[in-house]
Amino acid sequence: VQLQASGGGLVQPGGSLRLSCAASGNIFRINVMSWYRQAPGKQRELAATISSGGTTNYADSVKGRFTISRDNAKNTVYLQMNSLKPEDTAVYYCNANLMHSSLSATYSYWGQGTQVTVSS
């Protein structure tokens, strides 16, 4: 299984970016999909999650500014980031908890990370 993240870049404060992460390979079903982020010198933290049914949860620091969504037919998760702040600068990682068959356990996979830099 591979998770390919894209959409990062350099944006000015107050700007927007949209991240995408597509999962491919031996996938029966993807349960929870998430975006984490890791700023320089800090631990990786959870930014947002979305269940297979569309239930979402957000870290307080991004609530009201970020929106997570997914396209189950494409095994893809998105993160729309608006009103970006310098403190949102980090490497953003996608994560998927998925099953390889109807009888398999759930496994966790990570994307390679995409850099988001918010600076004037």
Q: Which residues pair with 112 in a beta bridge?
A: none
The whole-number pLDDT of residue 64 equals: 97
User: What is the Cα–Cα distance from 100 to 111, expressed in whole angstroms?
Assistant: 17
Share of the chain above pLDDT 70, in %: 100
Q: What is the DSSP string of the chain?
A: -EEEEE--EEE-TT--EEEEEEEESS-SEEEEEEEEEE-TTS--EEEEEE-TT--EEE-TTTTTTEEEEEEGGGTEEEEEE-S--GGG-EEEEEEEEEESSTTS-EEEEE---EEEEE--
pLDDT in tens, 55-65: 999 999 999 99
Tracing tokens 């390679």 back to the chain, one arrives at: 112
Mean pLDDT value of segment 17-35: 97
The whole-number pLDDT of residue 71 equals: 96
The whole-number pLDDT of residue 104 equals: 84
- Both structure tokens of 120: 């004037």
The whole-number pLDDT of residue 37 equals: 98
The whole-number pLDDT of residue 102 equals: 85
Mean pLDDT value of segment 77-93: 98
